[in-house]
Amino acid sequence: MDPSVWQGLYDEICLDFGYDKEKDLECARLLAGLLAGRSERALAEVREGFPESVLICGGGPNLQAEISSTQLEGYVVAADSAASVLLESGVAPDMIVTDLDGIVEDQLELNARGSVVFVHAHGDNLAAIKRHVPDFRGRVVGTCQCLPPPSVFNFGGFTDGDRAACICAALGASDIVLMGFDFEAPSEKPGKRRDVKKRKLQWARKIIDHLSSEGVRIEMSRDRAVQR
């Protein structure tokens, strides 16, 4: 996503939800200090030979049912909590995109097995960044939604799912299939307000629609048989 386009969307999102941009920047700087060069090396490895077609698994309530009826093949990306569903199903995703809101222990395990993790910093997860990022032993790339400090990247995207799509598009994917995405019925999470999550998913859909307008082919898995 073009940085100027994302900046406009970011301004609107912060206004909509009342986010503090200074806290976003504070957390991004913390993440940069923790990664200290790891991020650039991991991104260079991932970028090399990145596929044109990817499957992104979201954390929607329909993910488990879709996985059970589909043979997952190709380059698989997990958006946060989807990583745990995939792990339980015996699938190790190639990439995990997370703000550390899911089961971090599962993400640590998958990272040790080889999944590259794109860890996102924002104003509300500073404590999680400080606690968990040093425990990732595999490849880690830092992301943020504000002006990125060194070692952290801004590919655009708001929720883990649409940010995964933005990352993959930036790395060269032109064909993206979404599995386990439900923009109308968010999954329940302890301590999370359902109405706020629903508003976030409306933004996620808007961002994904924008990627489509830029020429990225994006389809829901239920509308297309995923070929392995």
On the question of pLDDT at 226 being above 50, the answer is no
Residue 213 neighbours by CB distance under 10 Å: 8
Nearest residue to 148 via CA among 44, 42, 37, 27: 27
pLDDT band of residue 114 (cuts 50, 70, 90) is very high
- Structural fold of domain 3-223: sialyltransferase cstii, chain A (3.90.1480)
Crossing angle between the packed helical segments 194-213 and 160-171, to the nearest 10 degrees = 20
pLDDT at 102: 93
pLDDT in tens, 186-224: 566 655 676 788 899 999 999 999 999 999 999 998 765
For the chain, what are the domain ranges? 3-223
Give the Å distances, CA to CA, from 187 to 32, 60, 193: 31, 6, 11
Q: 178 has which bridge partners?
A: 56, 220
pLDDT at 9: 96
* The one-letter amino acid at 216: V
Alpha-carbon distance 90 to 221, whole Å? Answer: 19
Note whether 86 and 92 are within 8 A (CB): yes
Give the Å distances, CA to CA, from 80 to 7, 102, 221: 24, 6, 18
The pTM of the whole model exceeds 0.85: yes
Q: 4 has which bridge partners?
A: none
Q: In which residue are the tokens 């070692």 written?
A: 151
